[in-house]
Structure 1
Amino acid sequence: MKCLIIAAGKGSRLSKRGDSKPLISLLGLSLIERTILTAKGSGIKDFYVVTGYNGEKLRKHLNRICHKKNINISHIINEEWEKGNGISVLKAKKLFNENFILLMADHIFDESILMRLKSKKIADDEVMLAVDYNVEENKLIDIEDVTKVLVDGGKIVDIGKDIENYNAYDTGIFLCSPAIFNGIERSLSTGDDSLSGGVKELAGRGRAKTFDIKESYWIDVDNEETFEKAESRLLSTLNKTSDGPISRYLNRPISTKISRYLVRTKITPNCVSLISFAICSISALFFFLGGYISLVIGGVLAQISSIIDGCDGEIARLKFQKTDFGRWFDAVLDRYADAFLLFGLTFYVFSSSGNLFYLFIGFLAIIGTFMNSYTADKYDGLMKRKIGSKGYYFRIGRDARLFIIFLGSLVNLPLLALIIIALLMNIENVRRIVALYKYE
């Protein structure tokens, strides 16, 4: 399915961030690149972008995206960009003779909206608008600027920024048939050159349907306030269902603040993985040195590494840089880092007393840790199938291990930390085996 994106306007309310709103950077990506890559994630590969204000600069930017991300982007020039956005849509009339997706360049949204909207069916003379019925609790919108919609029986009755009677918001996400062009042309004849005017004309004939986005998010990035809300909302999506308690309540709030800065640089997720691994390896070296000061430094570095370890995935998700290799590479480095840490801690405990039994405890901690990592993939897959993509489930993993090492080092109880890890990891592995057995 093809996708038409309107990007012709000036967007003067965000002018201090850039002279062209679609090019304004939001967490490391321009608004239009974020919109395109979100749509690409839903399976769309052919894009048509209507440009107008600062068009040459924007088209060069789009060409770079096209080359970098291996997608097709066709340019449509709107020299009448100062008029209503309905004109921008009309400029594409000759290029669309079948159903297509229509998006706004400055709207940020949950990829799942498009995934579901694409599967809907509309007649040849209909349009379908994704609407948000959460009008009472949605804090992400600018009430003065948002387009309101009155819906009855799944069809649009009225639409506009100034209507007083409404029960939904226009998200700016459409599934259109070519009938949208006729609707806009009819609206133009009455003096209304807006896209909403075209939708309203179709609604008057009962040909404008709605699609409920439910709990999915969307944001019209139109001013400083909504820009900041968009940043915060995107950062909040970085929490994962597989996050352990330490990651969720301690590491993630810190790592997202770090990632918020790092996404503005050219650093890659794989580079962050290497940095985390290096810090963890240095931590292990301090354990081999012996002495309380070295123990504390090693423990602190282990926890810092644990926090940084979350940044690679956060950057990958924020900048659409997730790859199978990156995920595998991070996992391999984590296993090496875990081995170095636990060998180092075991050596520290053994060298302090010479008790061979401590080596056995270290062995149990190491084997439990490696089996914990090995069983995680199947266990996570099971829990995600049970609870879906939302919510959390109980999980003890790497975040807990490194935090135990951190605490044990601070209070000078490395043996206790090793014992807890040995018990906790192996008990968790048995629990996962039981959970998977019961599910089967």
Structure 2
Amino acid sequence: MPKGTMEALIIAAGYGSRLRDISESKPLTPVAGVPLIELGVRQAAAAGATRVVVVTGHAAERVEAALPGLAELAGIPVVAERVEDWSKPNGFSVMAGAARIDGDYLLMMADHIFSAGILKDLARAGSDERGVTLAVDRRVTSPLIDPDDATWVSTDDCGRIRAIGKTILEYDAVDCGAFLATPELAKAIAAAVAAGKAGSLSDGMQRLADAGRAGTMDIGEAWWLDVDDPRAHALAEAEAPAELKEIYG
């Protein structure tokens, strides 16, 4: 990859059980008329990504069929990497997609959407002292956050991650689902699997955190949403057109 360029990796392999009443494919679920995967690709391009790798799994053929049109729309290449077993934890999707990318990359979840500044700032947030930088929200009681599904984050005084996971008891931030990753992240997930962990993205993040290599970027008052269930989808339908003006116009 030429120096100064940035690629993006979008995880779009999961089943999306909580959105099944709305759509049979979470990445293709429309938000105010625009599919989630289109929002992700266009947001990555707006943040400076020069190529997007989409990891597919459930309903892979349908998602992959949409990608050439998204590439034309976004003006950058969009390629698929199909994960062998999409029922495995999301870290396996990260490893599969990262194998198609040289260097650092924006890592996004297909069901998370962001106001434009978050990804643009994150793309510039790298440091040689970090193997990964996670966008975090300190507004842990925000009504936009589902506390039963959130991934919580505990940080130190320097913003480094101490602990991350859905069940940690002490936390001061929530994971926004957007990362600036280096090749260290996929290696950390693989090492966690080798050590007996299930292979979630959080397993790799915790391993980097234990090594002092996991940093954060505070998003401040910026808007984001995890569109994971009908309640969140209704919020997205109501708020996304105003918050994502670069896409909705």
The reply to whether TM is greater than 0.5 is yes
**What residue in structure 2 maps to residue 200 of structure 1?**
206
Q: Distance in 2 between matches of 1:215 and 1:166?
A: 19
> 1:321 Cα deviation (Å)?
6.3
Q: What CA deviation, in whole Å up to 9, does each residue of 1:240-272 have, x standing for no partner?
A: xxxxxxxxxxxxxxxxxxxxxxxxxxxxxxxxx
Q: Are the structure 2 counterparts of residues 70 and 237 from structure 1 closer, same or farther at C-alpha, using a change threshold of 3 Å?
A: closer
2:139 paired with 1:141 = no
Q: What CA deviation, in whole Å up to 9, does each residue of 1:136-183 have, x standing for no partner?
A: 3x1101100010000112100000011110000000100011000111
**Aligned partner letter, 2:146:** D
Q: What CA deviation, in whole Å up to 9, does each residue of 1:318-375 have, x standing for no partner?
A: 7x265xxxxxxxxxxxxxxxxxxxxxxxxxxxxxxxxxxxxxxxxxxxxxxxxxxxxx
Q: Distance in 1 between matches of 2:152 and 2:72?
A: 38
Higher relative contact order (CA 8 A, sep 6+): 2
**Aligned partner letter, 2:68:** N
Secondary structure of the 1:3 match is strand
**Aligned partner letter, 1:54:** A
Q: Distance in 1 between matches of 2:177 and 2:200?
A: 13
2:47 paired with 1:42 = yes
Matches within 5 A, 1:275-424: 317=245, 320=247, 322=249
**What residue in structure 2 maps to residue 410 of structure 1?**
none
Q: Distance in 1 between matches of 2:174 and 2:240?
A: 20
**Aligned partner letter, 2:234:** E
**Aligned partner letter, 2:232:** T
Q: Are the structure 2 counterparts of residues 223 and 28 from structure 1 closer, same or farther at C-alpha, using a change threshold of 3 Å?
A: same
Q: TM-score, normalised by structure 1?
A: 0.53
Matches within 5 A, 1:18-417: 18-123=23-128, 126-136=131-141, 138-152=142-156, 153-189=158-194, 190-237=196-243, 317=245, 320=247, 322=249
**What residue in structure 2 maps to residue 438 of structure 1?**
none
More strand by share: 2
Q: Distance in 2 between matches of 1:72 and 1:236?
A: 27
Q: Distance in 1 between matches of 2:97 and 2:39?
A: 22
**What residue in structure 1 maps to residue 10 of structure 2?**
5
Which structure is larger by alpha-carbon Rg, 1 or 2? 1
More helix by share: 1
Q: Distance in 1 between matches of 2:103 and 2:132?
A: 12
Q: Where do 5+ consecutive residues of structure 2 fail to align?
A: 1-5
Q: Distance in 1 between matches of 2:149 and 2:71?
A: 32
> 1:236 Cα deviation (Å)?
4.3
**Aligned partner letter, 1:226:** A
Q: Distance in 2 between matches of 1:69 and 1:128?
A: 25
- On the 8 A contact 2:153/2:173 being kept in 1, the answer is yes
Secondary structure of the 2:18 match is helix
Q: Distance in 2 between matches of 1:89 and 1:145?
A: 20
**Aligned partner letter, 1:151:** T
The RMSD of aligned alpha carbons is 1.6
Q: What CA deviation, in whole Å up to 9, does each residue of 1:357-394 have, x standing for no partner?
A: xxxxxxxxxxxxxxxxxxxxxxxxxxxxxxxxxxxxxx
**Aligned partner letter, 2:93:** S
Q: What CA deviation, in whole Å up to 9, does each residue of 1:278-317 have, x standing for no partner?
A: xxxxxxxxxxxxxxxxxxxxxxxxxxxxxxxxxxxxxxx3
> 1:212 Cα deviation (Å)?
0.4
- On the 8 A contact 1:125/1:178 being kept in 2, the answer is no
> 1:235 Cα deviation (Å)?
4.1
Q: Distance in 2 between matches of 1:234 and 1:125?
A: 32
Aligned residue pairs: how many?
242
Deviates more, 1:223-232 or 1:164-173: 223-232
Q: TM-score, normalised by structure 2?
A: 0.92
Q: Are the structure 2 counterparts of residues 25 and 89 from structure 1 closer, same or farther at C-alpha, using a change threshold of 3 Å?
A: same
